[in-house]
A and B are shown apart, each in its own frame.
Chain A
Amino acid sequence: MTSISDSFQTLRDRQQCALIPFITAGDPNLETTAEALRILDRNGADFIELGVPYSDPLADGPVIQAAATRALQRGTKLEQVLQMLQTVSPSLKAPIILFTYYNPILHRGIKTFLTQIAAAGVRGLVVPDLPLEEAAQLIQTAASFNIEVILLVAPTSSQDRIIAIARQSQGFIYLVSVTGVTGIRSQIQDRVKHLITDLRSVTDKPIGVGFGISGAEQAHQIREWGADAVIVGSAFVKRLAQSTPTEGLQAVEQLCRELKTAITPASLQQVGAAK
């Protein structure tokens, strides 16, 4: 299976911006999560970020927090999430990036955790409460499991930190587009444009922009500003939670297509159509 870095290289060669949808595992249930993964994979997702529900998601806004709470109330456990992934991931083109808070990792022990997620086909890891200073051990150990640990850069990060994070981050650099938690924002600040430029000046690694992006117009804007990937979470999670699983999955499919179209240059869309 290809790594996150290799997949990005392929996308770059084709001058494509990646779409990374996020969903919370176990909301409304793991069968729907499995189906959502397949649907996203078929409808333009280049990578898929799968959130492990956690009791105290400090970096998440109300939508994802509520999804995690529902999933936990249904008794969703990491082992079940990984069992589901093990079944589904071989049929997916999009590499899976697991989004989890640090305590569930620490609780199992870093090695055990990595062994388990590697077996389930996970290729990348985002740990939102593990800043650079605390991440070294996880990054080193993950390397031997061929799992890339993606670090986050925030609008508040100093230049020194941006450089250090860019150096250590693997796969891509996750640029948090807003000062705040995850969630839908009506407008994406111009600040993001400058953040992308700043980051680009210190690294060749791909830049993925996330937090606050919900619609096609915003996704398009982010691509125009030069990002390598657009990450959309709450908008997907909200759609899955709104109605029955079947309707939720249809809404997810539609949003995924819209976003993919929005970040694909017209010339490439035509090429795609010609095929």
Chain B
Amino acid sequence: MVSIQNIKTTTQQPDSLGRFGKFGGKYVPETLMPALAELETAYQQYRHDPNFQTQLQNLLRDYVGRPSPLYFAERLTKHYARPDGTGAQIYLKREDLNHTGAHKINNALAQALLAKRMGKQRIIAETGAGQHGVATATVCALFGLKCVIYMGIHDMERQALNVFRMKLMGAEVRPVEAGTGTLKDATSEAIRDWVTNVETTHYILGSVAGPHPYPMMVRDFHAVIGQETRAQCQEKWGGLPDILLACVGGGSNAIGLFHEFMDESAVRMIGVEAAGEGVDTQKHAATLTRGQVGVLHGAMSYLLQDDDGQIIEAHSISAGLDYPGVGPEHSYLKDLGRAEYYSVTDEQSLEAFQKLSQLEGIIPALETAHAIAYLEILCPQLDGNPKIVINCSGRGDKDVQTVAKILNH
């Protein structure tokens, strides 16, 4: 029998090869192995270093604007209430109120601080929706670091506003034409740059994906989301949330919310993937729903791949979810049964995008709208008055034009 203590240990800390169960690891060219070891050493050193932590906490408070509020979404709650008034109590963890408009800044800020301490003056990053790119460009401006952002040409089109923001803050945005010009291709290109410039450059990977130690490190830098949520739940009703709900592309905002509650067996965790035009079509990004185990961008995880082991291009209306892989810890949580993963379509997320805007005056990112959309399916299944915390991972300013185009047609 596996003891609870054992589950906790394996669940929360990858093993010496950086694996969560069989997922994770380091599948990268030899050139990068020393850099990953250097990063791991630096991370282990500074994660408990009081000076580093003080500087990070101060910046999270004064620059990012943390803690982000836990907001009771009263009109959304009423919308899903039963005729007798019972139903889910819906709260939004307002990561959209962070500086730069998404949770991504938590990780970008912490990694930039780490890079500075490691003596790296050049930063590279990949971005899909542009939120991670903007966050990285922001922290590079803050610390005076040279910044290069890789972005697929298709994503540059649909996220033109974020491209402009990155450039405004002094970053160079390098268009990636390979593949379908989306997040997967931008990530591959960023890794190639890193292989070439590894001695001077730190790669601020933007999700809980990639080779070890990134999935663990990025998760830890986002764990603040769940930690604040716990304290805020305690303050508001003196207990725990019943359900945590978040969208999953690579999975950083979801794991940031989940991590704190991993050992609270009473807390359900639900990740929502992008079903695009439907999981039975060729155009979706539902990796955990439809993927098979494989290796992409340095880690073993569930992947969208064809019968030849080639990576399939993903599709989602949301550039940030348009990724054929997923963080290895999510694959582990899925197999373990600790977290549940479902998917919603482009159309469902568009409805949710409008619904949250109209009911709460909050325009969510299209990524976030996927999590919101799942309420439609989830709420009718629930009894009583469970408390749901949804990670409102980003704001939708960047997506307004995309949505306007679709709705006007």
Residues of A within 8 A of B (CB): 54-61, 65, 69, 72, 77-79, 102-108, 128-134, 151-158, 161, 165, 176, 179-181
Contact = CB atoms under 8 A, between A and B. Distances in A.
B309 A180 contact: no
Nearest to A105: B309
Contacts of A65: 178
Contact of A104 (B28, B191, B303, B309): B309
B354 interface: no
Given A103-B305, A131-B28, A58 B191 contact: yes
B295 interface: yes
Contact of B294 (A60, A69, A103, A158): A103
A56 B196 CA distance: 16
Contact of B27 (A77, A130, A157, A180): A130
A107 B32 CA distance: 24
Interface in B48-106: none
Nearest to A69: B178
Interface in B27-44: 27-35
B33 A103 contact: no
B179 interface: yes
Contacts of A180: 31, 195-196
A78 B29 contact: no
A167 to B, nearest CB: 15
Contacts of A57: 188
Given A58-B195, A179-B199, A181-B192, A77 B308 contact: yes
Contacts of A157: 30, 33-34
B388 interface: no
B295 A106 contact: yes
B308 A179 contact: no
B310 A54 contact: yes
Contacts of B25: 133-134
A69 B178 CA distance: 8
Contact of A106 (B197, B297, B309, B310): B309
Contacts of B28: 58, 129, 131
B113 interface: no
11 contacts: A55-B311, A59-B31, A79-B308, A129-B29, A133-B25, A134-B17, A156-B32, A156-B33, A157-B30, A179-B196, A180-B31
A176 B25 CA distance: 22
Interface in B287-306: 292-298, 300, 303, 305
Nearest to A100: B309
Contacts of A72: 310
Contacts of A134: 17, 25-27
Contacts of A55: 179, 310-311
B184 interface: yes
A106 to B, nearest CB: 6
B308 A58 contact: no
A138 to B, nearest CB: 12
A102 B192 CA distance: 17
Contact of A176 (B30, B292, B298, B300): B30
A179 B309 contact: no
Minimum-distance CB pairs A-B, first 5:
A107-B309, A104-B309, A180-B196, A154-B31, A154-B30
B310 A58 contact: no
B19 to A, nearest CB: 10
